[in-house]
Amino acid sequence: LIDMSYGQKKKIIIAFGLATQAKLIIMDEPTNGLDIPSKAQFRKIMASALTDDCCIIISTHQVRDLDNLIDTVIMLDENDIALKASVEEITEKLTFKKVKEIDASIIYAEQSLSGYNAVLPNYHQEESKLDIELLFNAILTEKTKFKPLFD
C-alpha cells in the first residue's frame, strides 16, 4: 500500500467498503483523487452495488461525478438542512432550463455564454434534468423562495 498512489488507495478503500455488504456505507468525497476513467468505473460499480438492502450516503463537492446515482438530495447550509427532497420531488416542483432573458417567474439564474441557466417553478409539469450545482447555488442565495416549495 505504501507505494500506491492516492487514487489507487482510494479504489481499495471503496472496494473494501462495498465488499463488506454493510447495510449502511458512508463515503466522504469518494471520487476525490480519482482520474476520469476511474470516476466512470466508480459510477458503474456504485450503480451495480445499489440495492434496497443497503443505504449509501455520499458527501461530495463533485456532484457531476454522481448525477445518475442520486435519488435523494440533502443540502446543508452551515448547521441547517437547506433542502431534503427526492430528485423526483425536486423536478416535479422545479424546472431547470437555459433562457435568453430573466423574467419575474425565474427563482434564480446564473449568466452563461448563451444567456442564463435558470431555476423556475414547474407549473406546466415540464421534464428537465436536475442541475444540482445550480440548485445548490439557488438555494443558498434564495432561501426564502425555496422554503415554501419544499415544506
Residue 77: the pLDDT is: 86
Residue 130: the pLDDT is: 92
Residue 33: the pLDDT is: 85
Task: Tell if the pTM clears 0.75, that is, is over it.
Answer: yes
The C-alpha cell 441557466 sits at 117
Regions of the chain short of the pLDDT cut 50: none
Residue partners of 129: CB distance under 8 A and separation at least 6: 96
Residue 138: the pLDDT is: 95
The per-residue pLDDT for range 28-67, each reduced to its tens digit, is: 999 988 888 998 899 888 888 888 888 889 888 888 778 7
Identify which of 39, 41, 46, 38 has the alpha carbon closest to the alpha carbon of residue 18: 46
Q: What domains are defined for the chain? A: 1-69 (3.40.50.300), 87-151 (no CATH)
**Distance, CA of 60 to CA of 17 (rounded, Å):** 17
Residue 94: the pLDDT is: 96
Phi then psi for residue 92, to 5 deg, are: -75, -35
**Distance, CA of 147 to CA of 68 (rounded, Å):** 25
DSSP for 61-111, written as a single string? S-GGGTGGG-SEEEEEETTEEEEEEEHHHHHHHEEEEEESS--TT-SEEEE
Residue 100: the pLDDT is: 96
